[in-house]
Amino acid sequence: MISTDKAWEKWGKQDPYFGVLADERFRAGKIAANRDEFFAAGRGFVAHLLRRYERLFGPLPRGRALDHGCGVGRLTFPLAKEFSDVVGLDISPSMLAEGRANAAAFGTAVHFALADDALSNAEGNFDFVNSHIVLQHIPVRRGMAILDRLIGKVRPGGGFHLHVSFRTEPALWGLLYWSSANIPGVKVWQNICAGRPWNAPAMQMNNYSLNAIFALMAQQGISDVFVTSERHSRFVTCSLIGRKPDQA
Protein backbone atom coordinates (compact mmCIF):
# COMPACT_ATOMS: atom_id res chain seq x y z
CA MET A 1 0.00 0.00 0.00
CA ILE A 2 1.31 3.45 -0.92
CA SER A 3 1.83 5.64 2.17
CA THR A 4 -0.67 8.48 2.31
CA ASP A 5 1.94 10.54 4.20
CA LYS A 6 4.43 10.20 1.35
CA ALA A 7 1.73 11.01 -1.20
CA TRP A 8 0.77 14.14 0.73
CA GLU A 9 4.36 15.32 0.90
CA LYS A 10 4.43 14.93 -2.90
CA TRP A 11 1.40 17.21 -3.11
CA GLY A 12 3.16 19.66 -0.82
CA LYS A 13 6.21 19.76 -3.08
CA GLN A 14 4.53 19.65 -6.49
CA ASP A 15 1.08 21.22 -6.23
CA PRO A 16 0.29 22.39 -2.67
CA TYR A 17 -2.70 24.64 -3.34
CA PHE A 18 -4.46 22.11 -5.57
CA GLY A 19 -3.70 19.49 -2.90
CA VAL A 20 -5.63 21.61 -0.42
CA LEU A 21 -8.55 22.44 -2.72
CA ALA A 22 -8.82 20.33 -5.87
CA ASP A 23 -9.86 23.00 -8.36
CA GLU A 24 -7.99 23.51 -11.64
CA ARG A 25 -7.71 27.24 -10.89
CA PHE A 26 -5.38 26.39 -8.02
CA ARG A 27 -2.88 24.26 -9.93
CA ALA A 28 0.77 25.21 -9.49
CA GLY A 29 0.86 26.96 -12.87
CA LYS A 30 -2.32 28.96 -12.18
CA ILE A 31 -2.26 29.78 -8.47
CA ALA A 32 -0.49 33.14 -8.92
CA ALA A 33 -3.51 34.48 -10.82
CA ASN A 34 -6.03 32.91 -8.45
CA ARG A 35 -4.31 33.19 -5.09
CA ASP A 36 -6.64 35.88 -3.73
CA GLU A 37 -9.67 33.78 -4.63
CA PHE A 38 -8.16 30.74 -2.92
CA PHE A 39 -7.77 32.53 0.41
CA ALA A 40 -11.03 34.49 0.07
CA ALA A 41 -12.89 31.19 -0.18
CA GLY A 42 -11.27 30.12 3.09
CA ARG A 43 -12.33 33.32 4.83
CA GLY A 44 -15.89 32.89 3.63
CA PHE A 45 -15.98 29.27 4.76
CA VAL A 46 -14.76 30.04 8.29
CA ALA A 47 -17.13 33.00 8.69
CA HIS A 48 -20.08 30.83 7.62
CA LEU A 49 -18.96 27.95 9.85
CA LEU A 50 -18.65 30.05 13.00
CA ARG A 51 -21.96 31.84 12.36
CA ARG A 52 -23.66 28.48 11.96
CA TYR A 53 -22.05 27.11 15.12
CA GLU A 54 -23.14 30.06 17.26
CA ARG A 55 -26.65 30.03 15.80
CA LEU A 56 -26.94 26.36 16.83
CA PHE A 57 -25.03 26.23 20.11
CA GLY A 58 -24.59 29.78 21.36
CA PRO A 59 -21.38 31.75 21.94
CA LEU A 60 -18.12 29.95 21.25
CA PRO A 61 -15.09 30.72 23.46
CA ARG A 62 -12.41 32.35 21.30
CA GLY A 63 -9.23 31.24 23.06
CA ARG A 64 -7.41 28.39 21.29
CA ALA A 65 -8.25 26.74 17.95
CA LEU A 66 -6.75 23.72 16.19
CA ASP A 67 -6.77 23.33 12.39
CA HIS A 68 -5.98 19.68 11.61
CA GLY A 69 -4.67 19.12 8.09
CA CYS A 70 -4.03 22.82 7.68
CA GLY A 71 -2.12 22.61 4.40
CA VAL A 72 -0.96 26.07 3.29
CA GLY A 73 -3.26 27.84 5.77
CA ARG A 74 -6.45 28.42 3.77
CA LEU A 75 -8.63 28.03 6.88
CA THR A 76 -5.90 28.54 9.48
CA PHE A 77 -5.46 32.25 8.78
CA PRO A 78 -9.14 33.20 9.08
CA LEU A 79 -9.31 31.15 12.29
CA ALA A 80 -6.37 33.21 13.56
CA LYS A 81 -8.50 36.35 13.09
CA GLU A 82 -11.17 34.85 15.38
CA PHE A 83 -9.12 33.08 18.07
CA SER A 84 -6.29 34.24 20.31
CA ASP A 85 -4.04 31.26 19.56
CA VAL A 86 -4.19 28.90 16.57
CA VAL A 87 -2.24 25.70 15.91
CA GLY A 88 -2.11 24.32 12.37
CA LEU A 89 -1.08 20.67 11.95
CA ASP A 90 -0.15 18.97 8.69
CA ILE A 91 1.62 15.73 7.77
CA SER A 92 3.57 17.39 4.94
CA PRO A 93 6.67 19.43 5.82
CA SER A 94 6.42 21.15 2.42
CA MET A 95 2.83 22.21 3.10
CA LEU A 96 3.94 23.61 6.46
CA ALA A 97 6.81 25.50 4.84
CA GLU A 98 4.38 27.12 2.40
CA GLY A 99 2.02 27.90 5.28
CA ARG A 100 4.79 29.61 7.22
CA ALA A 101 5.73 31.65 4.15
CA ASN A 102 2.10 32.71 3.78
CA ALA A 103 1.93 33.63 7.48
CA ALA A 104 4.97 35.88 7.04
CA ALA A 105 3.43 37.49 3.96
CA PHE A 106 0.10 38.09 5.71
CA GLY A 107 1.67 39.16 9.00
CA THR A 108 -0.45 36.55 10.82
CA ALA A 109 0.74 34.72 13.93
CA VAL A 110 0.06 30.97 13.63
CA HIS A 111 1.93 28.03 15.14
CA PHE A 112 2.43 25.49 12.35
CA ALA A 113 3.60 22.03 13.43
CA LEU A 114 4.03 18.55 12.00
CA ALA A 115 1.04 16.26 12.46
CA ASP A 116 1.19 12.71 13.73
CA ASP A 117 -1.50 10.23 14.68
CA ALA A 118 -1.14 11.07 18.37
CA LEU A 119 -1.53 14.83 17.75
CA SER A 120 1.55 15.18 19.92
CA ASN A 121 2.34 18.69 18.60
CA ALA A 122 -1.07 20.00 19.67
CA GLU A 123 -0.57 20.19 23.41
CA GLY A 124 -3.49 20.80 25.74
CA ASN A 125 -7.12 21.39 24.84
CA PHE A 126 -8.83 23.77 22.43
CA ASP A 127 -11.99 25.85 22.30
CA PHE A 128 -12.51 24.83 18.67
CA VAL A 129 -11.17 21.94 16.61
CA ASN A 130 -11.48 21.93 12.82
CA SER A 131 -10.64 19.23 10.26
CA HIS A 132 -11.97 19.94 6.77
CA ILE A 133 -11.32 17.90 3.58
CA VAL A 134 -8.67 15.90 5.43
CA LEU A 135 -9.87 12.67 7.02
CA GLN A 136 -11.11 11.15 3.75
CA HIS A 137 -7.50 11.12 2.56
CA ILE A 138 -6.50 8.92 5.53
CA PRO A 139 -7.26 5.17 5.71
CA VAL A 140 -10.37 4.69 7.85
CA ARG A 141 -8.88 2.62 10.67
CA ARG A 142 -6.12 5.16 11.17
CA GLY A 143 -8.46 8.10 10.61
CA MET A 144 -10.98 6.94 13.22
CA ALA A 145 -8.25 6.89 15.87
CA ILE A 146 -7.24 10.43 14.86
CA LEU A 147 -10.87 11.57 14.88
CA ASP A 148 -11.27 10.20 18.41
CA ARG A 149 -8.21 12.18 19.54
CA LEU A 150 -9.44 15.34 17.80
CA ILE A 151 -12.69 15.20 19.75
CA GLY A 152 -10.68 14.51 22.88
CA LYS A 153 -8.79 17.77 22.27
CA VAL A 154 -12.01 19.82 22.57
CA ARG A 155 -12.28 21.29 26.04
CA PRO A 156 -15.65 21.10 27.85
CA GLY A 157 -17.90 23.83 26.48
CA GLY A 158 -15.88 24.00 23.25
CA GLY A 159 -16.88 23.05 19.73
CA PHE A 160 -15.71 21.19 16.66
CA HIS A 161 -16.19 20.81 12.93
CA LEU A 162 -15.24 17.47 11.36
CA HIS A 163 -15.62 16.61 7.69
CA VAL A 164 -15.67 13.10 6.18
CA SER A 165 -16.66 11.30 3.01
CA PHE A 166 -19.18 8.49 3.45
CA ARG A 167 -20.26 7.37 -0.02
CA THR A 168 -18.94 7.11 -3.60
CA GLU A 169 -21.38 7.23 -6.53
CA PRO A 170 -21.23 5.13 -8.58
CA ALA A 171 -19.43 2.61 -6.38
CA LEU A 172 -17.11 1.56 -9.23
CA TRP A 173 -15.32 4.89 -8.91
CA GLY A 174 -14.40 3.98 -5.36
CA LEU A 175 -12.51 0.95 -6.67
CA LEU A 176 -10.78 3.15 -9.24
CA TYR A 177 -9.62 5.61 -6.59
CA TRP A 178 -8.45 2.77 -4.36
CA SER A 179 -6.46 1.21 -7.21
CA SER A 180 -4.94 4.58 -8.08
CA ALA A 181 -3.70 5.11 -4.53
CA ASN A 182 -2.68 1.57 -3.63
CA ILE A 183 -1.49 -0.35 -6.72
CA PRO A 184 1.90 0.80 -8.05
CA GLY A 185 1.75 1.84 -11.69
CA VAL A 186 -1.99 2.50 -11.89
CA LYS A 187 -1.65 6.20 -11.10
CA VAL A 188 1.16 6.57 -13.65
CA TRP A 189 -1.09 5.05 -16.33
CA GLN A 190 -3.99 7.32 -15.31
CA ASN A 191 -1.77 10.40 -15.41
CA ILE A 192 -0.48 9.61 -18.89
CA CYS A 193 -4.02 8.95 -20.19
CA ALA A 194 -5.21 12.26 -18.71
CA GLY A 195 -2.28 14.25 -20.08
CA ARG A 196 -0.91 15.05 -16.62
CA PRO A 197 2.74 14.68 -15.55
CA TRP A 198 3.46 10.98 -15.12
CA ASN A 199 4.54 11.48 -11.51
CA ALA A 200 1.52 13.50 -10.33
CA PRO A 201 0.66 12.06 -6.89
CA ALA A 202 -2.39 9.99 -6.06
CA MET A 203 -5.11 11.45 -3.85
CA GLN A 204 -6.47 8.59 -1.77
CA MET A 205 -10.18 8.77 -0.91
CA ASN A 206 -11.82 6.79 1.89
CA ASN A 207 -15.43 6.58 3.06
CA TYR A 208 -16.23 6.53 6.78
CA SER A 209 -19.11 4.92 8.65
CA LEU A 210 -21.32 7.61 10.19
CA ASN A 211 -22.67 5.00 12.63
CA ALA A 212 -19.13 4.40 13.90
CA ILE A 213 -18.47 8.14 14.21
CA PHE A 214 -21.66 8.76 16.19
CA ALA A 215 -20.83 5.84 18.48
CA LEU A 216 -17.39 7.34 19.06
CA MET A 217 -18.92 10.72 19.88
CA ALA A 218 -21.37 9.12 22.31
CA GLN A 219 -18.45 7.55 24.15
CA GLN A 220 -17.09 11.06 24.71
CA GLY A 221 -20.44 12.30 25.99
CA ILE A 222 -21.39 14.27 22.87
CA SER A 223 -25.06 14.18 21.86
CA ASP A 224 -25.64 17.59 20.23
CA VAL A 225 -24.37 17.38 16.63
CA PHE A 226 -25.57 19.21 13.54
CA VAL A 227 -25.06 17.33 10.28
CA THR A 228 -25.04 18.56 6.68
CA SER A 229 -24.17 16.61 3.54
CA GLU A 230 -23.03 17.68 0.11
CA ARG A 231 -21.61 16.20 -3.06
CA HIS A 232 -17.99 16.72 -4.10
CA SER A 233 -17.66 15.28 -7.58
CA ARG A 234 -18.36 11.55 -7.15
CA PHE A 235 -18.22 11.62 -3.36
CA VAL A 236 -20.95 12.38 -0.84
CA THR A 237 -19.45 14.12 2.16
CA CYS A 238 -20.67 15.12 5.58
CA SER A 239 -19.87 18.00 7.94
CA LEU A 240 -20.43 17.40 11.65
CA ILE A 241 -20.62 20.48 13.86
CA GLY A 242 -20.96 19.87 17.56
CA ARG A 243 -20.39 21.11 21.10
CA LYS A 244 -18.77 19.20 23.92
CA PRO A 245 -20.88 19.40 27.11
CA ASP A 246 -19.52 21.49 29.96
CA GLN A 247 -19.02 18.28 31.92
CA ALA A 248 -18.14 15.71 29.24
Q: Give the Cα separation of 140 and 162 in Å (integer).
A: 14
pLDDT, tens digit, for every residue of 40-91? Answer: 999 999 999 999 999 999 999 999 999 999 999 999 999 999 999 999 999 9
Instruction: Select the CATH number that applies to the domain covering 4-243 from these four: 3.40.50.150, 3.40.640.10, 3.30.465.10, 3.40.80.10.
Output: 3.40.50.150
Domains of the chain, residue spans: 4-243
State the 10-residue block means of pLDDT for the chain, 248 residues long.
78 94 93 98 98 97 98 98 98 98 96 98 98 95 98 97 88 60 63 62 84 96 94 87 87
| pLDDT tens by residue, 185-203 | 765 565 566 566 656 666 7
